[in-house]
Amino acid sequence: MSRKNLRNLPIYKKSLELCSMSRAIASYVSLNKDLRKLCHSNSLRDSVADALLTDAILIPQKIAAVEFSNNPMERVAHMSFINIMIKNINSYCMGLEKDGIKEIEYIDLLRKEIKSFRKYYKKWRGSLN
């Protein structure tokens, strides 16, 4: 599958949307506005924002890895990793909420995006079998 085709893949597009929303929320909730330095912060909120960003960025990479792999075991491993990252992102939402984020509507938007992504993911996963 070429890069052009990958960009046309609905699950890949949806993963980029999830990534973009995660980046915006991480930027908003973070005390450190330089997102590249979140991992060096001692703030719990910054750590959660960094983990959120990291997992969101890895999802499109893992989708691409599945699409470009011919090894069924490798594909299953990448898809399992995507499942873990989706669960992690939901946990990060809960963590941010418990840390006192006042604008819960932003966290709820991310949860809705995750729910939407899951629908695309299940359909995509089913098409691979």
Domains by residue range for the chain, with CATH: 3-128 (1.20.1440)
- The pLDDT tens digits for 22-43 are 989 888 887 655 555 555 556 7
On whether the CB atoms of residues 47 and 38 are closer than 8 A, the answer is yes
Q: And the tokens for 43?
A: 């703030």
pLDDT surpassing 80 at residue 54: yes
Task: Tell me the C-alpha distance between 88 and 82, whole Å.
Answer: 10
**pLDDT given at position 38:** 54
**Mean pLDDT of the chain, nearest integer:** 87
On whether the CB atoms of residues 117 and 86 are closer than 8 A, the answer is yes
What is the reported pTM? 0.87
- Could you say which DSSP state residue 40 is in? G
Q: What percent of the chain has pLDDT over 90?
A: 60
